[in-house]
A and B are shown apart, each in its own frame.
Chain A
Amino acid sequence: MLLDKIAELISERTGCGAGAVRMDSTFKDLNIDSLDRVDLLMDLEDYTGVQIELSEKVETVGDLIRIIEEKKKDAGKGEETENAN
């Protein structure tokens, strides 16, 4: 469902169809530049409640999701911090 949220955010920000956002899509393919990445990051922090580091190494949507999942595990140790909105 994190994928759905990311697809929704990207689609809203760039106008691409949400269906175009898949685990293996690169930000480059999606036309997401470095400023868009920061926007996305801040939105996702609000949504997940965890702080995410910005790294150039994150190239695909899947990379991003993995990072968030790890952070969530570290932060809450399984505790559900997601706020539904």
Chain B
Amino acid sequence: MQTEICRLLGIRYPVFQGGMAWIADGRLAAAVSEGGGLGIIAAGNAPASYVEEQIHFARKRTEKPFGLNVMLRSPFADEVADLAAREGVRVVTTGAGNPAAFMDRWRRAGCAVIPVVASVAMAKLMERAGAAAVIAEGCESGGHVGETTTMALVPQVCDAVRLPVIAAGGIADGRGFAAALMLGAQGIQMGTRFLCAGECTIHPVYREKILRATDRSTIVTGRRNGHPVRSLRTAFSRRYEEAEYRGASETELDVLGTGALRLAVQEGDLESGCFLSGQIAGLVKRVQPAAEIVEEVTREAEQCLKGTSRWVR
């Protein structure tokens, strides 16, 4: 399987591992890229020095291209943006916000900028700002979410822009991959499935929660303060939800949420940790090397695509 985005970025398969704050480090990203996909290091709220270490670590492990996910709301966004340009990272993806201010800097440094978008208007804005492609992320996904599902968002974004579109949200196997191509996408980005990659260093409690998740295990909280987030239902999400219903102040909600992802990832703390996960977690049943995941979903998608002709005379 080869699409235009593969040629554009110099990757074997159009499979991105989504940036995941506190989780997607140089080790995971390098493993995905070595496996033929595009690994992406997440900067999250970390300072540039940490991100730089991860980039150098990944470069030691692979000569293949990988990406960097810059969280625009991070207090270190500026220095991380500079770092991306200085290091000439092949791909920069951005989440939660508008990267227009950094776009020129990155493009001059030869980075392909691929923003994550949750609406058609945002995709158009990014095309105008000089994006190389966009990742259309539906609200099935783990982490920050919009309102529109992948099924509805992807074809509408494909119609609105001339850029290659990568589909994200709710994809964890070859069936989802094939479906994304049918909707007009040129590739996929997965987050939740890679949480169970062997190279992914999350707390064993987190991994176990994902492996045992079902179709209804996730919930969106944070709609009220304008930052909706999808995570596993836990004691934490319940408390947060209750606080929202009770009409807790924004500051109170912020305090509840601060550091919660770190507590999940590093401590496996079910009481106070926020276990971000997509709705597709119920499909993730095994821990596998990242390269095997990339290979497997691609093979499955090829089978699906070949098989569809049987419905048509």
Known contacts A35-B146, A54-B98: A42-B226 contact under CB 8 Å: no
Docked CA distance A39–B124 (Å) = 10
Chain B residues with CB under 8 A of A41: 121, 125
Q: Tell me whether B125 and A42 are in contact (CB under 8 A).
A: yes
Within the assembled complex, what's the spacing in Å between the Cα atoms of A28 and B124? 24
Task: Give chain A residues whose Cβ lies under 8 Å from the Cβ of B124.
Answer: 42
Query: How far does the Cβ of B290 sit from chain A's closest Cβ, in whole Å?
Result: 32
A33-B226, A35-B146 as given contacts; A42 in contact with B121, CB under 8 Å: yes
Tell me the bound Cα distance from A33 to B146 in angstroms. Answer: 10
A25 on the interface (CB 8 Å rule)? no
Q: Which residue of A lies closest to B226 (CB)?
A: A33
Please count how many residues in chain B sit with their CB below 8 Å of the partner chain's CB atoms: 12
In contact, B119 and A35 (Cβ under 8 angstroms): yes
Chain B residues with CB under 8 A of A42: 121, 124-125
Q: With A35-B146, A38-B119 in contact, is A54–B226 under 8 Å at CB?
A: no
A53: B residues at CB distance < 8 A:
100
The secondary-structure label for the interface of chain A is helix
**Nearest-neighbor residue (CB-CB) of A42 within chain B:** B121
- Say yes or no: is A34 at the interface (Cβ < 8 Å to chain B): yes
**Chain A 1-53 residues near chain B, CB threshold 8 A:** 28, 33-35, 38-39, 41-42, 53
Question: What is the total number of residues of chain A having a CB less than 8 Å from a CB of chain B?
Answer: 10
Q: How far is the CB of A52 from chain B (nearest CB, A)?
A: 10
- Nearest Cβ distance between residue A9 and chain B, in whole angstroms? 12
Please name all residues of chain B whose beta carbon is closer than 8 Å to the beta carbon of A38 when the two chains form the complex.
98, 119, 121-122, 125
| Contacts across chains A and B counted by CB atoms under 8 Å | 26
Q: Which residues in A have their C-beta under 8 angstroms from that of B146?
A: 35
B100 in complex: contacting residue of A28, A34, A35, A54, CB < 8 Å = A54
- Among B98, B118, B121, B147, chain A packs the most CB atoms within 10 A around the CB of B121
In chain B, what residue has the closest Cβ to A33? B226
Query: Per-residue 0/1 for A46-75: is the Cβ within 8 Å of any B Cβ (1 yes, 0 no)?
Result: 000000011000000000000000000000
0/1 per residue, B77-111, Cβ < 8 Å to A? Answer: 00000000000000000000110100000000000
With CB as the reference atom, state the residue of chain B lying closest to A31: B226
Q: Which residues of A contact B226 (CB under 8 A)?
A: 28, 33-34
Q: Are A39 and B119 in contact (CB under 8 A)?
A: yes
A8 to B125 CA separation, bound complex (whole angstroms): 22
Cβ distance A41 to chain B, nearest Cβ, rounded Å: 7
Closest residue on chain A to residue B126 by CB atoms? A38
